[in-house]
A = this chain, B = another copy of it.
Amino acid sequence: MPVNLTSPVAAQLLPVAGVSLGVACAGIKRAERKDLLVMQLSAGTRVAGVFTTNRFCAAPVTVAKEHLASSSGIRALVINTGNANAGTGELGMADARATCAALAGVMGCKPEQILPYSTGVIMEPLPLAKIAAGLPAAVANAKENNWYDAAHAIMTTDIVAKAISKQILIDGVQVTITGIAKGSGMIHPNMATMLGYIATDAAISQPLLQQMVSSACNRSFNCITVDGDTSTNDALMLIATGKSGMVEITRAESSAYETLLGAVSEVALFLAQAIVRDGEGATKFITINLEGGEDEAECKKIGYAIAHSPLVKTAFFASDPNLGRILAAIGYAGVSDLDVSKLELYLDDVLVAEHGGRAASYQEEDGQRVMQQSDITIRVVLNRGSVDTTLWTCDFSYDYVKINASYRS
Docked pose: A330 CA to B125 CA in angstroms: 20
Q: What is the minimal beta-carbon distance from A187 to any residue of chain B, in angstroms?
A: 10
Contacts A121-B322, A124-B324 supplied; 18 other A-B pairs, CB < 8 Å: A55-B330, A55-B332, A56-B328, A56-B330, A87-B324, A88-B358, A89-B341, A89-B358, A90-B355, A122-B328, A123-B323, A123-B358, A229-B332, A310-B310, A311-B404, A314-B405, A315-B405, A400-B401
A188 CB within 8 Å of chain B: yes
Does chain B have a CB within 8 A of A377? Answer: no
Interface contact B123-A54, CB-CB below 8 Å: no
B90 touches A356 (CB 8 A): yes
Q: How far is the CA of A147 from the CA of B195 in the complex (A)?
A: 56
> Does A228 sit within 8 A of B, measured CB to CB?
yes
> Is the C-beta of A130 less than 8 angstroms from some C-beta in chain B?
no
Contacts of A322 in B (CB 8 A): 121-122, 407-408
Tell me whether A91 and B357 are in contact (CB under 8 A): yes
For A405, the chain B residues whose CB sits under 8 A away are 314-315, 317-318, 320
A310, B55: Cβ atoms closer than 8 Å: no
B87 and A311 within 8 A (CB): no
- The answer to whether residues A87 and B320 also contact, given A311-B185, A332-B229 and a CB cut-off of 8 A, is no
With both beta carbons as reference points, the residue of chain B lying nearest to A357 in the complex is identified as B89
Residues of A in contact, count (CB < 8 Å): 70
Q: Interface on chain A toward B: helix, strand, loop, or mixed SS?
A: loop
Contact B407 A401 (CB under 8 A): no
Verify A227–B318 contact, CB threshold 8 A: no
Q: In the complex, what distance in Å separates the CA atom of A340 from the CA atom of B228? A: 21
Which residues of A from 160 to 199 have beta carbons under 8 Å from B? 185-186, 188, 190
On whether A310 and B227 interact (CB within 8 A), knowing A88-B357, A331-B55, the answer reads yes
- Closest B residue to A53 using CB positions: B332
Asked whether A335 is an interface residue with its Cβ less than 8 Å from the other chain, the reply is yes
- Inside 8 A of A91's CB, which chain B residues have their CB? 357
Interchain residue pairs with CB less than 8 A apart (25) = A53-B332, A54-B328, A54-B332, A55-B332, A55-B335, A55-B340, A56-B327, A56-B340, A57-B331, A87-B353, A90-B356, A123-B323, A123-B324, A124-B358, A185-B311, A186-B311, A228-B309, A228-B310, A229-B311, A230-B328, A314-B405, A315-B404, A320-B405, A322-B407, A401-B401
Beta-carbon contacts under 8 Å, A222-279 to B:
227-232
A402 in the interface (beta carbon within 8 A): yes
Chain B residue with Cβ nearest A314? B404
Whether B121 and A328, one on each chain, are in contact in the complex, defined by CB atoms closer than 8 angstroms, is: no
Residue from A55, A186, A327 whose CB has the most chain B CB atoms within 10 Å: A55
Chain B residue contacts of A287, Cβ below 8 A: none
> Which chain B residues lie closer than 8 Å to A123 at the CB level?
323-324, 327, 353, 357-358
Per the bound structure, the CA–CA distance linking A185 and B314 in Å amounts to: 12
User: How would residues 87 to 118 of chain A score, 1 for a CB under 8 Å from any chain B CB and 0 otherwise?
Assistant: 11111100000000000000000000000000
Among A185, A190, A322, A333, chain B packs the most CB atoms within 10 A around the CB of A322
Name the distance in Å between A68's Cβ and chain B's nearest Cβ.
Answer: 21
Shortest CB distance A138–B (Å): 26
Instruction: Please determine whether A398 and B402 come into contact, CB atoms closer than 8 angstroms.
Output: yes
- A80 within 8 Å of B (CB atoms): no
A361 within 8 A of B: no
A268–B330 Cα gap in the complex (Å)? 28
Type the 1/0 row for A312-346, where 1 means its CB is closer than 8 Å to any CB of B: 00110110101111011111110110101100000
**Contact status A229-B310, CB under 8 Å:** yes
Using Cβ atoms and an 8 Å threshold, which residues of chain B touch A17? none
In this assembly, does A148 line the interface, its C-beta being within 8 Å of a C-beta of chain B? Answer: no
